[in-house]
């Protein structure tokens, strides 16, 4: 090998290295880090330990809801009822706590929220109603039921003991880490294993990619559908639980605005709307980007009007970038 060849090989190696970076996989995390750097430059207070911790607390809740939506998206569906289910769960939790105490009441409330998902799943799997319509109907029904039950009143008046027990879940810490983050990490890991390491998880991906083929292959598709939507509602209810615990009150409209964030976060992270592609890692990424973006904009002093537009632009650009990179 003479000198020219060596130089040429080095140059072509460099170019190939850039092309070889899996942009689709690393693009978003890199953009996320860039975003953190930019916000820290604008206001160093952004990167303070306390701010990071507080933002992850909110991010954990969003992660749970986005994970739920991810399951629905993976199965080539969508869950429009998540916002209403959050409000219903919030009310159910506080009401149950009145009679059952903090722990039992919370579990009952979360399960009630999960029931909405169960109903969704049954409607979709057994009655053949398209997911978008079934969950749209549930959006109205869940909202109406909890509004009729409460008359729109916020539920407070927890006894001191209950409030203290409950608050730890939403506002407390495990060492230096906020409680919701710990729970979210554990649940996230469990969900990850479910999706990537079990047969059932693979069935979900298969179903999302090609429902007919999955059915023909003899896999019980109804089971998949019911599970997916129940999980979606359960995770949304869990998210509502941590929020409710932190606020110590049942707020009927708790979920307002969360649905769009959940879908936005799920797709931003890389889940495909057409199903079969994505997962928990994508959900985590999407939730973190949105949470830190919102916090960063507040800390940077951007007005709330501009914030909304910025979040929308970011969602589009993030998805655009992954599409373009993925193609070239």
Residue number with CB closer to another protein (67 or 150): 150
Nearer to another protein, 37 or 323 (CB): 323
17: which 2 tokens? 């290295």
Question: Shortest approach of another protein to residue 292 CB, angstroms?
Answer: 11
CA 107 – CA 120 distance, rounded (Å): 20
Among candidates 184, 79, 158, which has minimal Cα distance to 123? 79
Cα–Cα dist 224/276, whole Å: 13
Q: ∠292-298-300 over CA atoms, to 5°?
A: 95
DSSP tally for the chain: helices H, then strands E: 14, 2
| Cβ distance to another protein smaller for residue 81 or 106 | 81
Sign of the alpha-carbon dihedral angle for 189, 190, 196, 197: positive
Closest approach of Cβ 149 to another protein, in Å?
9
Which of 134, 83, 86 shows the shortest CA–CA distance to 110?
Answer: 86
Q: Min. distance of Cβ 255 from another protein in angstroms?
A: 10
Determine the angle formed by the axes of helices 102-126 and 160-171, rounding to 10 degrees: 60
Phi, psi of 233 (to 5 degrees): -70, -40
Instruction: In angstroms, give the least distance from the CB of 193 to another protein.
Output: 28
CB of 9 to another protein, least distance (A): 36
Maximal CA-CA distance, the chain: 85
Backbone angles phi, psi at 254, to 5 degrees: -55, -40
Shortest spacing between CB 240 and another protein, in angstroms: 10
Instruction: Tell the residue number behind the tokens 């916000």, with chain if given.
Output: 39
Q: From the CB of 111, what's the least distance to another protein, in Å?
A: 21
């Amino acid at each position: 090998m003479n000198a020219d060849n060596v130089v040429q090989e080095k140059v072509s190696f460099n170019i190939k290295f850039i092309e070889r970076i899996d942009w689709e996989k690393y693009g978003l995390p890199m953009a996320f880090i860039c975003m953190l750097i930019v916000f820290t430059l604008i206001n160093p207070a952004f990167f303070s330990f306390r701010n990071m911790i507080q933002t992850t607390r909110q991010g954990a809740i969003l992660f749970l809801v986005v994970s739920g939506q991810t399951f629905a998206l993976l199965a080539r569906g969508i869950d429009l009822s998540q916002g209403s289910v959050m409000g219903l769960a919030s009310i159910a939790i506080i009401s149950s706590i009145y009679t059952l105490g903090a722990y039992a009441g919370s579990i009952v409330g979360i399960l009630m929220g999960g029931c909405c998902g169960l109903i969704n799943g049954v409607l979709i799997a057994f009655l053949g109603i398209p997911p978008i319509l079934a969950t749209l109907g549930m959006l109205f029904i869940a909202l109406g039921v909890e509004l009729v039950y409460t008359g729109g009143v916020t539920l407070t008046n927890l006894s001191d003991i209950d409030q203290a027990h409950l608050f730890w879940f939403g506002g407390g810490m495990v060492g230096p880490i906020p409680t919701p983050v710990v729970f979210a990490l554990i649940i996230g890991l469990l969900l990850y294993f479910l999706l990537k390491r079990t047969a059932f998880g693979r069935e979900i991906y298969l179903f999302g990619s090609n429902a007919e083929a999955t059915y023909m292959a003899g896999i019980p598709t109804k089971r998949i559908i019911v599970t997916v939507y129940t999980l979606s509602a359960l995770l949304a209810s869990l998210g509502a639980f941590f929020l409710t615990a932190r606020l110590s009150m049942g707020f009927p409209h708790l979920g307002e605005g969360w649905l769009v964030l959940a879908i936005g976060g799920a797709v931003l992270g890389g889940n495909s709307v057409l199903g079969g592609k994505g997962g928990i890692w994508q959900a985590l990424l999407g939730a973190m980007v949105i949470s830190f973006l919102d916090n960063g904009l507040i800390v940077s002093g951007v007005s709330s009007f501009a914030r909304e537009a910025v979040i929308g632009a970011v969602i589009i650009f993030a998805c655009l970038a992954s599409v373009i990179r993925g193609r070239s």
